[in-house]
Amino acid sequence: MTYDSTGHLLLTPVDREAPLRVRRLRQLGIGDRPDPDFDAFAERLAKVTGAPYSMVNFIDENQQFFAGLHTPNGTHTTEQLSATAAAGGGGVSRYMARDHGYCPHVVVRRKALVLEDVCDYPRFAGNPVVDEIGIRSYLGAPLIDRTGTALGTICVVDTEPRPWGRPGLETIKSLAAELVEQIHRREDGRL
């Protein structure tokens, strides 16, 4: 665990691979703009899991970027999402601070994370997404490419606790492997 100089537990893990990840994402030409293929993947991810929110998320040193995004009303653009948030529909957009959410943990751990009810885990219950967006459940897996770089994550979230269980874990891991293969085909020019 990492503590700051005052002895407080830091909720966001130190990410020593961020510079390498950013270089690899630039090499692949992904992770800095919305991508219709990733939006379609996020929509499929939501359908498969039954989750209202799903993301294809790439993380740099300072922020997270949802290159693929699905919300309950199907909005994808920042303008549409801002309007949804202003109308009381939650504060989701394409960008999120690195200290918000659970994907930075998945990238640093390089392992899937299942939080059926985030409030059951003191380390995760205090995350800003709980109060600001109302997130209560998370299921995510890392996107580790052929170079061994953890590029980002795929994840689904819900505003209600969800019993993801072993089937949810296996599903998210399988879908992450599928998306990594899609990224490799794109890199190889086979898409």
Q: What is the pLDDT of residue 118?
A: 95
Q: Give me the residue spans of the domains in the chain.
A: 18-187
Q: Is residue 159 a contact partner of residue 52, using CB atoms and an 8 Å limit?
A: yes
Q: What is the pLDDT of residue 92?
A: 58
Q: What is the pLDDT of residue 84?
A: 39
Q: Is residue 48 a contact partner of residue 75, using CB atoms and an 8 Å limit?
A: no
Residue 162 structure tokens = 């969800």
Strand extents, DSSP E, the chain: 53-59, 63-70, 95-97, 113-115, 137-144, 150-158
The rounded distance, in Å, linking the Cα atoms of 131 and 139 is 18
Q: What is the pLDDT of residue 34?
A: 95
Q: What is the pLDDT of residue 46?
A: 97
DSSP 126: T
What's the one-letter identity of residue 120?
D
Query: Digits of tens for pLDDT over the chain (191 positions)?
Result: 444 444 434 468 899 999 999 999 999 999 999 999 999 999 999 999 999 999 999 999 999 999 999 999 875 544 443 433 434 444 458 999 999 999 999 999 999 999 999 999 988 988 889 988 899 999 999 999 999 999 999 999 999 999 999 999 999 999 999 999 999 999 999 76
CATH architecture of 18-187: 2-Layer Sandwich (3.30)
171 torsion bin: left (phi>0), alpha (psi -120 to 50), beta (else): alpha
H or E segment at 109? helix 103-109
Q: Is residue 141 a contact partner of residue 174, using CB atoms and an 8 Å limit?
A: no
Q: What is the pLDDT of residue 69?
A: 97
